[in-house]
Amino acid sequence: MYNKTFRGGVHPDDGKSFARDIPFQTWLPKGDMVFHLNQHIGKPAKPVVQKGDQVLAGQLIAEADGFVSANIVSSCSGKVKAIEKRKNVLGTSDMSIVIENDGQYTLAEGIGTEVDYTTLTGPEILDKVKAAGIVGLGGAGFPTHVKLAPKNPNDIRFVIANGAECEPYICCDDQLMRNYADEIVGGLKIMLTLFPNAEGVILIEENKPEAIAAMEKACSGESNIRVHRVVPKYPQGGERAIMDVVAGKHIKLGMLPADVGCVVDNVATVRAIYRAVCKSEPLMERGFTVSGDAVKNPCNLIVKIGTGLEEMLEAAGGFKDGVEPEKLLCGGPMMGFAMSDLDAVVNKNNNALTILAKDPVAQAEEQQTACIRCGRCAHVCPLGLTPQMMAAAAEKKDYDRYENKLYGLECIACGSCTFVCPAKRPLMQLFKQTKSEIMAAKRKK
């Protein structure tokens, strides 16, 4: 067994006490459903329905348009109301399929059919995963059928189910492991059939004892699947930290986990693989946490993809009485996206709505000073970068130094440097903007 922790990292208040012990409830949406065509890394999906078409839950409504792309299925039954641009959680707009939900959730033919995965070949398993439209449900949204087809499958040594869930406030993966451990292990067993030389690893932080117990019980009879407990520390859920802890490997910019013999998927993704292969169920719903000190009844939900965020707040009872929240986040406070309103929907890779009474970013801006050269940012960076020097290069627009001397593009935007900075400098925001400008210049060339 390799290290139980990784270099650097921070220990923010995890905020999980709000929702960690709240069991899942299923929320059936009431309003129109909106399906963005690019809710995954890669090329947007291509619509296969038209305005006025009747659709069923589980029916394909947009197909993958290229190798790195993903199918999209409807999570409700109803009529296609429009194919038009709709607002996303980033505040921009995407082409989307809007379905008028009839509230019946009538399933398409074949959904729920039981299949014995041991009777399937590797290509047949991959076809089922692709048809289901599964992507990384931990936030990245990378098409799973692509991740499960590396160049050299015999070189894969670890297939890792990521249950770290280190982002503050979010608890849906914890609940998923507590309640669906058998299905997560089932998904891991399916994945292992694709990699004959691999061991299955379920990575969980030690602050989730109920999840650890459930997962250890579920894999107790498996010879090549084990639970790997790790020290709670942010950002343990990042792929690079996982490689370090589980495999003792370091991946550099441009490398994938497969390059060091690993395949990593979020536990929700692993469960979705099981549901797709063994239950003929495409990706229609996901776990979702609504939490924060401004939420009346923090909760964990099983929510249909395409549901409006306003309904997610409704499911949690709305805002606390007398509270006017200052911060709306899609995701958590470390890596989530700030929103001006809730006029957006749950995509495949969205796992939480966090609502805070006070805006910590605004408070930090009021206290911001010049860099005091304390070096704390470098101490906590999980990649060993020098944020202080990166910030100086970024502010001067010295992109060559930023990229080639300081390796700034290696930054994973975890926000650890910003969190510990006593000068309250918005380092992560600066680095994200700088990376965006560098990549835009590369594309222009």
Three-class secondary structure of residue 352 per DSSP: strand
Distance CA 335, CA 166 (A): 11
Burial of 50 (0-12, 13-18, 19+ CB in 10 A): exposed
Two structure tokens written together for 224? 């090549």
Q: Determine the average pLDDT of the residues in 232-254.
A: 88
| Measured CA angle at 217 (ends 213, 219), to 5 deg | 120
In this structure, what DSSP letter does residue 392 have?
Answer: H
Are the CB atoms for 245 and 5 separated by under 8 Å? yes
| Measured CA angle at 151 (ends 145, 155), to 5 deg | 105
Q: Which residue ranges make up each domain of the chain?
A: 16-23+113-279, 364-444
pLDDT at 255: 83
Two structure tokens written together for 151? 């160049």
pLDDT at 443: 85
76 appears as a binding residue in the annotation:
no
Distance CA 251, CA 242 (A): 10
β-bridge mates for residue 220, sequence order:
none
C-alpha distance from residue 44 to each of 37, 39, 126, 348 (Å) = 5, 8, 20, 13
Q: List, for residues 163-217, the tens digit of each pLDDT value.
A: 999 999 999 999 999 999 999 999 999 999 999 999 999 999 999 999 999 999 9
Counting Cα atoms < 13 Å in the Cβ hemisphere of 106 gives 10
In this structure, what DSSP letter does residue 319 have?
Answer: B
pLDDT at 254: 75
The H-or-E segment that residue 303 falls in is strand 299-304
Three-class secondary structure of residue 132 per DSSP: coil
330 appears as a binding residue in the annotation:
no
In this structure, what DSSP letter does residue 108 have?
Answer: P
411 appears as a binding residue in the annotation:
yes
pLDDT at 120: 97
Please provide the CATH number assigned to the domain covering 16-23+113-279: 3.40.50.11540
Q: What is the rounded radius of gyration, in angstroms, for the C-alpha atoms of the chain?
A: 21
381 appears as a binding residue in the annotation:
yes
CA-nearest of 291, 363, 293 to 322 is 293
Two structure tokens written together for 127? 């076809």
166 appears as a binding residue in the annotation:
no
CA-nearest of 207, 198, 203 to 216 is 203
Q: List, for residues 287-344, the tens digit of each pLDDT value.
A: 999 999 999 999 999 999 999 999 999 999 999 999 999 999 999 999 999 999 999 9
Whether 136 shows a pLDDT value over 60: the answer reads: yes
Are the CB atoms for 416 and 381 separated by under 8 Å? yes
CA-nearest of 284, 356, 344 to 311 is 344
Q: List, for residues 364-412, the tens digit of each pLDDT value.
A: 889 999 999 999 999 999 999 999 999 999 999 999 999 999 999 999 9
Strand order of the β-sheet with 327-330 is: 24-27, 299-304, 285-291, 352-356, 327-330, 337-339
Whether 253 shows a pLDDT value over 90: the answer reads: no
Distance CA 21, CA 407 (A): 41
φ/ψ (deg, to 5) at 186: -60, -40
DSSP secondary structure letters along 177-225: HHH-HHHHHHHHHHHHTT-TT-EEEEEEETT-HHHHHHHHHHTTT-SSE
Dihedral, 374, 365, 351, 71 alpha carbons, nearest 10 = -100
pLDDT at 2: 53
Q: List, for residues 97-117, the tens digit of each pLDDT value.
A: 999 999 999 999 999 999 999
CB atoms within 10 A of CB 225: 20
Q: List, for residues 19-67, the tens digit of each pLDDT value.
A: 999 999 999 998 899 999 999 999 999 999 999 999 999 999 999 999 9
Are the CB atoms for 147 and 136 separated by under 8 Å? yes
Whether 3 shows a pLDDT value over 70: the answer reads: no
Strand order of the β-sheet with 262-266 is: 225-230, 199-205, 158-163, 262-266
Three-class secondary structure of residue 16 per DSSP: helix
In this structure, what DSSP letter does residue 401 have?
Answer: I
β-bridge mates for residue 204, sequence order:
163, 229
Cα dihedral across residues 340, 346, 350, 355: positive or negative: positive
